[in-house]
Amino acid sequence: MSDWKTDEFIPNWTSAPGETIQDILVERSITVEQFGKILDLDEAVAKELLVGNLEITETLAEKLAQSLGSTKAFWMKRESNYREDLIRLGKTK
């Protein structure tokens, strides 16, 4: 019998919420410029969101839910998990 636990998965990597957003944008053929306009963000700021440098606030989570789907809670949890993973991996600035 193995000591390996099937219910415990702790990766040595993380995925920014922006990766999920990028997948949706590609699927819907939305450019970063268009995405920025949808969220009322400058294109440069939208790019920062996509690479994980801009933290998703409650207001931004609400806009993401309205424009891309899912819920505000989903986007907040996605952000929270990402930030926790960065700390766990020692990748915070």
Domain boundaries, the chain: 17-88
For the chain, the average pLDDT equals: 91
Q: What pTM does this model have?
A: 0.83
Structure tokens at 22: 């990028």
Tell me: pLDDT of 1 over 60: no
N-terminal to C-terminal alpha carbon distance within the chain: 42
Question: In this predicted model, which residue has the larger pLDDT, 12 or 34?
Answer: 34
Question: What distance in Å separates the CA atoms of residue 41 and residue 34, rounded to the nearest whole number?
Answer: 10
Tens of pLDDT, residue by residue over 27-59, are 999 999 999 999 999 999 999 999 999 999 999
- What is the assigned CATH class of domain 17-88? mainly alpha
Q: Note the pLDDT of residue 91.
A: 85
